[in-house]
Every structure is written in C-alpha cells, then in structure tokens.
Copies of this chain bind each other. A is one copy, B any other.
Amino acid sequence: MPRVAATRFTYLGPEATFAEQALRTLPGTRTGVLTPSASVPDALDSVRGGASDAALVPLENSVEGSVSVTLDELANGEPLAIIREVLLPVSFVLLARPGTRLAHVGTVASHPHGEAQCRGWLRGNLPNASVHSALSTSEGAAAVARGEYDAALAAPLAASRHHLDVLAEDVHDTDGAITRFVLLTRPGRPPERTGNDRTSVVVFIADNHTGALLEVLTEFAVRGIDLTRIESRPTKQQLGRYCFYLDCAGHVADARVGEALAALRRICADVRFLGSYPRADDDLPAQRPGTSDDDFAGAADWLAGLRNPPR
C-alpha cells in the first residue's frame, strides 16, 4: 500500500482475532503499526479522524451473511473508500494450556460465532464439553490462559499471543466458509486497476416505483458487467424503503464500469461510490463482446466523427 507513507492500521479488535489475522496477510502490515479498535464504528472513526491511515473490518461471511454495522457505516457514515479486500477461510484452532490433552477438555470458551461455526465439530469431538461464551475468540483464549476454561476455539494467531498449545487445527463445520474483510481509507484516488478488480457502490432508489431495482441491474447488464453481490439494507426512514449495496466485477477506470456508474448517478436518488480494488478471488466470467475499453474508445471516436466530421 505505497500511497500511505507511515502506515497506521487499525482493525476490529481485540488483538489476535481473525481480523488481525486477515490484516497481517496484507503488504505493509509488517512495517506498519497495528492497533485494535473496540468496534467497527470505532475502527472507522479512527480513520475518519486521522488517528489511523486504514482500517480492516469484516464485511460478510459466507455462512453468517453481511455484517450490517459495516454496511450501514459505509452507506450512511462519513465516506470512506475500500482499497483492498481479504478473503479469510474460517478455520479455528482449539487452544489449551500446555500439557492439556483433548480427552480432558471439559469446558470450551469462544465467541458465539465460533461456537456456531464449530458446533458439529464440538459434538463429534468433545460431546461432553460445556461451551462458554466469550466477548471475542481472543478473550476466550485469554480466559483459558488464566485457567478459567480448559480450551478455546480461536484464530491461529491467538496461540502464540496467549502462550497456548494447539490441540486441533482447521476446526470448522462448513468447508469453504470464508469471511470477507475490507481495508478502508479516507477517500482518494482508487488503487490502480489490475484487470481483476471489484467495484462497490451503494444506490438509493429514486422512488419506490415497481422495477426501480430492475432498472439498476439493467444498467449493469447492458454493459456486460457481472454483479457479484447485491444486498439490501433499510434506509431507516420507512419500512419497505431500501438501499442496495452492490459489488460488481471491474474497476471504475474501466469504461464500461464508469459508464454504468454514471448511469446510476443519473437515474438514482443517490449513489455512493465505495471504491474499486483488486479482487482477492478469481472468478472471471468471459467478457461480453463489445464491452472492452477498446470497444468503448472505438465507439467514442466514431461518435465524435459523426458529431464533428472531418472536413
């Protein structure tokens, strides 16, 4: 992340949870300063206020769905820009104090999400253990370190932090479960396009007429743009009024994406651009003929020639 000189990162804390684990996969974090925030709004406010350069927060999980607070902050809070995404597999470790054996685990601590995502594993491997809620996976590990519980389901990072042993690795119920995090900065020039990018926007429908969303989706479809996600959120003003959080393939610098966003800007009550950034996955569909930058440039030249023919 070369554009941030001396990078001060924050993330949804506490330390040693999956958010820190995800953040540490990004370049620049080795030399940066990493500070946990107490909540998603706190992390984002830290960036807004200038105390941090960038914040990593969860956006969605393939099992739990969207993280509403993140969506609402992005849609309604002071604007921020997504500059990176991280896809982190949901994969817990079972941690215990050195010397503990799996057979002796009678109590397990974890955040409720951890319990939810490992319920089957617990039933199969620790059928008699009682499970206790902690405020975070890291808190659960800390409680184990303090001797309050026998074991904790936590992020791998928590083992060394809390000087615990790993009794079981890659613990999860749903294969392929993934949490998607986004790295946010103050708005600025988007990252350069890589050819495998994603663009995120929030659109507010102009009025509630039938087919307004259909019109929005059509603006993407006519330009051959793949929508990778659509999520409605209440506008908080009236039941039945929603805004839509949309992710699409491509970069705002792509001609087709730019034209589609400009179209949304024209026909919607409001559009908030959340950023264009490299995709962390690689699910590229075939690009529809006639929608490349060259196609757009050729058509623009042709149109210019119609409007102002050469003498």
A residues contacting B by CB (< 8 A) are: 60-65, 68, 87, 174, 176-178, 180, 187-190, 206, 208-211, 213-215, 217-219, 221-222, 224-234, 236-242, 252-253, 258-259, 261-263, 265-267, 273, 281, 283, 285, 288-291, 295-296, 298-300, 302-303, 306-309
Contacts and interface: CB of A to CB of B under 8 A. Distances in A.
A63 B68 CA distance: 11
A238 B281 CA distance: 12
Contacts of A237: 62, 174, 176
B190 A306 contact: yes
B242 A266 contact: no
Nearest 3 A/B pairs, CB to CB: A266-B290, A262-B299, A62-B239
A231 B126 CA distance: 36
Contacts of A240: 62, 228-229, 281, 283
Given A62-B240, A266-B296, 20 more contacts: A60-B239, A65-B68, A65-B233, A65-B234, A174-B237, A176-B237, A176-B239, A178-B239, A206-B290, A210-B221, A210-B288, A213-B227, A213-B230, A215-B222, A230-B232, A231-B231, A240-B283, A252-B307, A259-B259, A266-B299
